[in-house]
Chain A
Amino acid sequence: MAFRTEPITVNFGPQHPSTHGVFRMRVTFDGEVIVDMEPVFGYLHRGSEKLAEERTYTQVITLTDRLDYVASMSNNLAYVLAVEKLCGINPPERAQYIRVIMAELVRIASHLMGLGFLLNDLGAFATPLMYMFREREKIMDLFEMVCGARITFSYMRIGGVAEDLPPEFYPAMTRFLKEMPGYIDEYEALLRENEILLARTKNVGILQPDKAINGSVSGPNLRGSGVPWDLRRADPYEIYDRFEFDLPLGKVGDTYDRFLVRLEEMRQSVRILNQAMEQIPKGPVRASVPMLVRPPIGDAYAHVEAPKGELGFYVVSDNSIAPYRCKIRSPSFINLTVLRDMVLGWKLADMIVIFGSLDVNMGEVDR
């Protein structure tokens, strides 16, 4: 007996527990199988790029906090790098070390959150998420020590950072670096030994390397597909050429690989942090930069390897106190472009997991 069936269209979002913010997917199902998917975004659009044109160069730093709000330090860094490039400012060495330390800490925090929510999407009822937040909390405490804020840091300044590291930062950091590898091993055990998790993630949502490159995907998603591309290596900014670290690469490009790459990247971040804490010199943390920066006419593009991928700022100056144009190349937005290709033909439950494994942040997608 043949049933007469017809596809149904379901709106996932903008209010949905696993769209990680206000993302909307118009999905057409044939039973449980996805036959079409149309991503709809813009619900969180705040016009950051336009707002930047109305603010002085220093004030724009606070806008960058609101892009990827789980990894604000990287956003700060990318922006101040662009402005420094524009003005030709060289921050002192100690400031550069502090920036790298902050960027790597925020990478761990962001990956913890990404992995936690991915596991939540897989249906593990908040338990892994709370375990990941246990460690994220320690990183948040560290950030609170250096800049007083836990989410919107605004810690970096043009020509350095706002404040030097406080004395209580060092013992807390040493303890964190000592404990963190053990916790990462714990997560890995959780991941590698759970049969349901393996069945749900292995070979699900494969992103072929050529498709990833064509889609301009960056960050752990690209490396999960086995493409060795990391701006810390490919175009070392700051002082990344002084540290030893490996690029974890996936083999298949499935959800499981993206998961493992993030996990391994946390290990590498701890490695970089260890080296940075050893090498960090004494000295000033800020170059002498006037309060009102007035860069010469011109433009500059600076990019960093943010936790989610290549985050770039393109700043155009007309020699006034505010940028003439500030274009943000956000990794989450561009990573999302491959989503439709990745989910077609998979089941509803897989779609949620594939979307979770891309680890996008809506604050950054909509800007």
Chain B
Amino acid sequence: MAMRIEATNVTAYYGGFKAIENITLTVEPKTVTALIGPSGCGKSTFLRSINRMHEVLPGARVDGRLTIDGQDIYDRDVDVTAVRRMIGMVFQRPNPFPTMSIFENVVAGLRLNGVRKKSILEEAAERALRSANLWDEVKDRLDKPGAGLSGGQQQRLCIARTIAVEPQVVLMDEPCSALDPISTLAIEDLMFKLKDRYTIIIVTHNMQQAARVSDKTAFFSIERTGDPGRLIEYDDTQKIFSNPSEKKTEDYITGRFG
């Protein structure tokens, strides 16, 4: 249930603006990779180009090569919805569907895949909610609106929704930035648990979080505003936070920059 992601010279644009340039890195299966760096350095753009969500914005496009287990996800013949089913995504702000119940939120992806049978849906919903450490809190009110949960619960609901379709890779775009420390901890615990089954890539502004949860860390940065973001250093998290090879990385993680 996990696959290797290889990015080669990935460059992404918003219209005429080049947001990231020549990003090359490999993410191993069943690891947590953290993308860190100052605001506007293109971490989220890179993350969104991994499941082809970048191109949703008008005028946005991606150059270069991105493969998952060797298959080019930007191949002309590839069905973009299949890519997104394989590579799930959790967003910065919890975004459950406001008109759906908790249950419907969790099974939304399964319904897209044409699963109709109630028993299968119920089973999958329970499994996903248990994996997301949310089952005990919501099992008695599955028919209540998902938007009625607290922020941390909503984010775990979104994680449940993402993993309910059993993707290969889970992308997380600053999943804890809108949450309080306790909810953050709950989600970090969850990441450790999910690591056994999924490849996880997480964008975070919180360096302690990156150090706590990730196996590998990629540091992105920009020279100055308007320049494209570049990958400065990509290594084991332990090395990045103890003995980085690049001066820029060291400056950033010690707080002298960004």
| A, B in one complex | no
A residues neighboring B (CB under 8 Å): none
B residues neighboring A (CB under 8 Å): none
